[in-house]
Structure 1
């Protein structure tokens, strides 16, 4: 019998984000095409740098309503006709607004790219904003607000941004608006805002799929390349994101009889342009709260059984960012769970072992090819970076830097961001548990 030598397992080769073919349309819009062999459903993203500070203060959420109603009828087609054209060609079209800008997304078979682009141009350049459709979406958003206030996780997130950010900052309020501001939105306001701000100025088009770059350029140039670059203009007001001054703060949202308490604890974090590079932060997030074996879950879930699971991570946003940890715990252990969470996060300053470093680096680096295996994942990442003023070389660079990370690098990155003033929001039975949280001595407790 012949014995075979056992093969040696070697580390995988370095992986890079797919390189785009970059060109410029006739109207000046940059176009990036990512060739993804075998991906016969193309993903198209039209990204417009449109910060939420451009909205009128008394109509916050206007950009969100505009994004949701641009395809609800145009000057050329009624809402039903437009929907029929999308369905007839198997085109999925959606649009959304974030704090930084507006994105129109298309998913379509590669063979139907041209008609999809024609419909995208139609909703971008000539939306009709019918009164009945705008009113319907306003009513739907008002219903969403009620649901968000009723859901503990959503309520904790809303209270957290209100408590963390300065009241003058747009980030302190929901991007999609509050009840009073959404109720003030009508079709005329949508038309005016669209005419002023939804133009090719500051736009970028990203296409991923099994497509020839030259053919894509021709199709996009013949459609979105004819889109006007001129708006009527209007200046925004206010600041995008600015933390409140002061120290730690705790807010307890009272829900009588609640058997669980939703917890959200966070503080300021880095932007993607942080000195020293972005590479340490995905690894830190994974080790602290990004996996079932992370430090928070090892204590609160596995050791104590207080929770089904917590999540934590860094959230870069333009010029700044945050670190947030969140999850729900049994109501009867609200105070000890908060104390343990605080202690776990304090303990991160003690550093990481080589085993932790290797597991975090391997997870972030080796799962990247899988995370970006599909055309839509590639286009989504490219769009998120474009809104932040970056290209996809950012991903390649930080994945390369991962390989050289040391435990000291992680410790230094955490030391820079890990002990800023903390904002803690709890949603649960304040009458039953607020005094115990107050007794921890972390901060005064404000009951909402």
Structure 2
């Protein structure tokens, strides 16, 4: 992707994100769905789909090309994804970085894209007054792009994509698993044999000629679908589409790809010694069917039933009985021409993967013997129904699925058949697909083990072929993006250099908030929202890590999990079944400052869902066996974090910021030592002493009136008694008076993970939001920011970098974070320091205009989804902000001046008074960091 560190956009499995659905009053699975959309085709073959949704003054534009890694040439793998990156950089009429600059000015969500095996998409949500601007820009990318691409541009972007590969695959535990699976599941001439990200060698070999050839073949309008969803007038939008896209020339005909499911003549077993892994992992893959194949629906139900929840056969055997692993993951991955069912088990420390493999077979045998019941099938379908409605929350999601249906099913209205297929799965179907695709069939098995633990691999495994990059100073190509280039402009019937004007400014209103307080002291806030028949809620109880005993850190996390493991009258399995039967989800989590209960359910099942929340909160089961299993799982998580450079960086930076004696220096999970000391009684003590409605606030958004929402809380009001709980006061550690460099050694790391900053502000400080405004151009504005423009776009050092202020009721850090190519660790750190040093003095009126443009105009998108509205309520209750704080912030932004920004930057961004943490390869990178002038780096391990 362009911004996000993953490539494949996980297709929404059952969300019908397509249109204004006309639902019967019953809202049952038998409801017929009428899809309202308009589709037309331009003379050049461009498919265009409109969906009108006037619930918010926003519009999403998505351009999808029917090309992914499956249509690449051998030796040019990763090219579709590289091309996705290139398409954002420049076009003839937008200019260099023009789309990103425009996105910031118009208050867009940020132009982004993703590449999968079978398609590449480009998308953004903007206030609806910017629709014509977006159509102009997307057309410019499609038809007026290729002449701007030079050898220098290709060479720079190759470095960015290679950094993305290092960050997401090469420098991550188990990052090569998909590579090994696909190399052996699909033959060499199969288009799924290679990864979407490609290989470093192939990326390096990409040429300008390759780029031009790829563009001409695959980015012709007859291979592209344009989807516009949101609040707009279709008649006017159609005129704009014809104006801006109509004169792009049609390309050659693109033949459909034939379905080609994988065929295995034998079971293949392979192993890899993973430099970053600390736990053994077994992954199995079976060939299945392409997307929308009739059997794909039953395979999905099978995957869910086998592994999700306490009752799942794999959970019963592997997790509960044999205690070999904390969880089992099974999912059916369907692509355009083939599919694969994936099973993955990451064992506990030093568990023999042969034991896990035997337990897998035992789990399948248990399923064969017991099967799936009608009741199990119905609860899975209930979850699918909620997931379907949940997907209707954003116009962008609707656009994605319209394009998905058009490209891979040939019909934007496929939603009707898709839902019918999902809800039509029978018990017999589930049993049949198990025998047809899994039982006794050949598969690919991979064993990924830590260094020195090859004794754990599956018997009969052969060493997998994995290419490991060497760290070499100065190995990357040089490029000069300042070189002037000239090219012959692509003709047009009108002047495309003129950016279209804004349309009518959208009417922006903050959602109406209602509030009450229960007799037991719990604050309740809500927003009525009837776009979909769903309810989302959050119950926040202050405390979390802040209330823990420093000698037994990890209690709050274990307590949160324990509350999900059954109730006084329900076992864990019975509780899960009761939740699933409602189509609901209820999760409980702990973090530094709170324990929170989060949920989602159909509006008609809200009262029943809240009755379960009450039972979970007030009548915990305190199951000793479940408690021990939770401790095992948490210990496994802690071990896993020790292998992940990003987790290492986060945990180490907390310790640097707060110092060893502050409670917030700790990992919420605890340590291996503290876990051993924690007893079930410790959880009960925390529960009894600290969980009080006087520290709680309930937030709810959805298709409910206030009276309905509050009535469902009567049980909590009557039975959850208030108690006096005082939150401890901790002294905030002083910010450093001089900068200091810390280094954590991960031998052989392909990237260095950077964390720079210091403890700055709480969210309640008058300067908190002004500091965020000041930070937009520094590192908070994605591609509008100086950090991204210089380190990624200018140097190709990183895939992504950002800066932020993240205070809460406690002072939080100003933080710069990134992952950079290992052999430019010093250069990246030095450049970040220089950017900070020059930020205030060089901040300009133009920078202020961009900042104001984005922060003011993006208000139109601020409350589009239910999740955004819920977050707004949480902010109001946590920080006592006014209901209209968004409007007040808008006024603050409008009144901001260059001098105010400079004053804030001078006060809060001082590179000579912060901590610098680098997690990377000490052997090659540590010594050079002394040149920063901040003394000899402190080696932490």
Give the structure-1-normalised TM-score: 0.91
Q: Distance in 1 between matches of 2:883 and 2:632?
A: 38
Name the residue aligned to 1:288: 778
Q: Deviations over 1:100-136 (max 9, x none)?
A: 2111111111111101111111111111121111112
What is the CA–CA distance in structure 1 between the aligned matches of 2:805 and 2:609, rounded to whole Å? 35
2:185 is the counterpart of 1:185: no
Query: Secondary structure of the equivalent of 2:806?
Result: strand
Which one of 18, 26, 31 corresponds to residue 524 of structure 2? Answer: 31
CA distance in structure 1 between the aligned counterparts of 2:679 and 2:861, rounded to whole angstroms: 43
Cα distance change of structure 1 residues 176 and 364 upon mapping to structure 2, 3 Å threshold: farther
**For 1:146-199, what per-residue CA distance to the aligned partner results, in whole angstroms no more than 9, with x for missing partners?**
222211111111111111213222121222322222232232211221111112
CA distance in 2, matches of 1:51, 1:389: 20
Tell me what 2:511 maps to: 18
Name the CA distance, whole Å, in 2 between partners of 1:93 and 1:17. 28
Aligned equivalents of 2:725, 2:673: Cα separation in 1: 22
Name the SS of the counterpart of 1:326 in structure 2.
strand
Structure 1 residue 82 and structure 2 residue 572: aligned? no
Aligned to 1:428: 920
Structure 2 residue aligned with 1:61: 554
Question: Which one of the candidate residues 292, 302, 311 is aligned to 2:793?
Answer: 302
Residues 439/7 of structure 1: CA separation in 2 closer, same or farther (3 Å cut): closer
Task: Decide whether aligned partners of structure 1 residues 299 and 314 sit closer, same or farther in structure 2, where only a CA change above 3 A counts.
Answer: same
- Are residues 12 and 323 of structure 1, via their aligned partners in 2, closer, same or farther at CA, if it must alter by over 3 Å? farther
- 392-401 vs 119-128, greater mean Cα deviation: 392-401
The match for 1:370 is: 861
Partner Cα separation in structure 1 for residue 859 and residue 582 of structure 2: 32
Q: Cα offset for 1:230?
A: 3.8
Counterpart residue number, 1:199? 692
Mapped partners of 1:397, 1:108: distance in 2: 33
- 1:314 is aligned, of 805, 815, 819, to 805
Change (3 A) 1:390 1:436: same
Distance 2:935 2:729 in 1: 29
Does residue 396 (structure 1) correspond to residue 887 (structure 2)? The answer is: yes
Question: Is the aligned partner of 1:252 residue 2:743?
Answer: yes
* Equivalent runs, 1:21-420 vs 2, <5 Å: 21-220=514-713, 222-231=714-723, 239=730, 241-243=732-734, 246-275=737-766, 277-290=767-780, 291-390=782-881, 392-419=883-910
Q: Distance in 1 between matches of 2:768 and 2:607?
A: 37
- Unpaired runs of 5+ in structure 2? 1-498
Deviation for aligned residue 1:378: 1.4
* More displaced 10-residue stretch of structure 1: 121-130 or 282-291: 282-291
Distance 2:518 2:726 in 1: 27
Distance 2:755 2:635 in 1: 24
Distance in 2 (alpha carbons) for counterparts of 1:278 and 1:19: 25
Provide Cα deviations, 1:300-350, integer angstroms capped at 9, x if missing partner. 111111111112111112142211011111111111111001111111121
Q: Secondary structure at the match of 1:229?
A: coil
In structure 1, C-alpha distance between the alignment counterparts of 2:585 and 2:837, rounded to whole Å: 46
| Distance verdict in 2 for CA 1:390–1:72, change over 3 Å | farther
CA shift, 1:390, in A, is 4.1
Matching residue of 2:459 = none
Residue number in structure 1 paired with 2:163? none
Q: CA deviation at 1:252?
A: 0.6
- TM-score under structure 2 normalisation? 0.45
1:185 and 1:11 map into 2 onto residues whose CA distance is 61
Describe the SS at the equivalent of 1:269.
strand
CA distance in 2: counterparts of 1:322 and 1:152, whole angstroms = 20
1: CA distance, partners of 2:719 / 2:796: 56
**What number of residue pairs does the alignment pair up?**
440
Cα distance change on mapping 1:365 and 1:36 into 2, 3 Å: farther
Over 3 Å counting, the alpha-carbon distance change for 1:8 and 1:345 in structure 2 is closer
The 2-side partners of 1:7 and 1:324 are apart by 37
CA distance in 1, matches of 2:731, 2:562: 25
- The 3-state SS of whatever aligns with 1:309 is strand
- Distance in 1 separating the partners of 2:829 and 2:681: 48
What is the RMSD computed on CA atoms of the aligned residues?
2.4
Per-residue deviation, residues 64-119 of structure 1 (Å, max 9, x unmatched): 11112202111121111110000000111011222221111111111111011111
CA-to-aligned-CA distance 1:195-254 (integer Å, 9 cap, x gap): 11112122111111121112222222x2322232245x7877672742465521111111
Cα distance in 2 for residues equivalent to 1:11 and 1:320: 41
SS of 2:807's partner is strand
Q: Cα 1:244–1:274, aligned 2, differ >3 Å: closer, same or farther?
A: closer
SS at match of 2:516: strand
Extract unaligned runs of 5+ from structure 1.
Answer: 1-5
Determine helix, strand or coil for the equivalent of 2:804.
strand
Instruction: Supply the distance in 1 between the matched residues of 2:861 and 2:842 (Cα, whole angstroms).
Output: 29
The 3 A distance-change label for structure 1 pair 210 and 7 is farther
Between the aligned partners of 1:255 and 1:328, the Cα distance in structure 2 is 13
Looking at both structures, which has the greater relative contact order when contacts are Cα pairs under 8 Å and sequence separation is at least 6? 1
What is the SS of the residue equivalent to 2:601? strand
Residue 150 of structure 1 aligns to a residue in which SS? coil
Contact 1:45–1:104 under 8 Å retained in 2: yes
- Asked if residue 437 in structure 1 is aligned to residue 909 in structure 2, the reply is no
Looking at structure 2, the residues matched to 244 and 283 of structure 1 have their Cα atoms a distance apart, in angstroms, of 22
How far 1:396 moved relative to its partner? 3.4
- With over 3 angstroms needed to count, the CA separation of the structure-2 counterparts of 1:272 and 1:435, relative to structure 1, is same
Distance across 2 between alignment mates of 1:64 and 1:388: 23
Q: Secondary structure at the match of 2:813?
A: strand
Secondary structure of residue in 2 paired with 1:308? strand
| Rounded Cα–Cα distance in structure 1 between residues aligned with 2:830 and 2:815 | 16
Contact kept in structure 2, 1:40 and 1:210, CA below 8 Å: yes
Instruction: State the distance in 2 between where 1:228 and 1:414 align.
Output: 47
Following TM superposition, by how much is the alpha carbon of 1:409 offset from its aligned partner in structure 2, in angstroms?
Answer: 2.1
Q: Distance in 2 between matches of 1:128 and 1:33?
A: 30
In the aligned structure 2, how far is the partner of 1:50 from the partner of 1:350? Answer: 41
Q: Which moved more, 1:7-16 or 1:372-381?
A: 7-16
Q: What is the distance in 2 between the residues matched to 1:7 and 1:257?
A: 51
CA distance in 1, matches of 2:728, 2:898: 43
Confirm or deny: 8 A CA contact 1:156 1:262 kept in the other structure.
Answer: yes
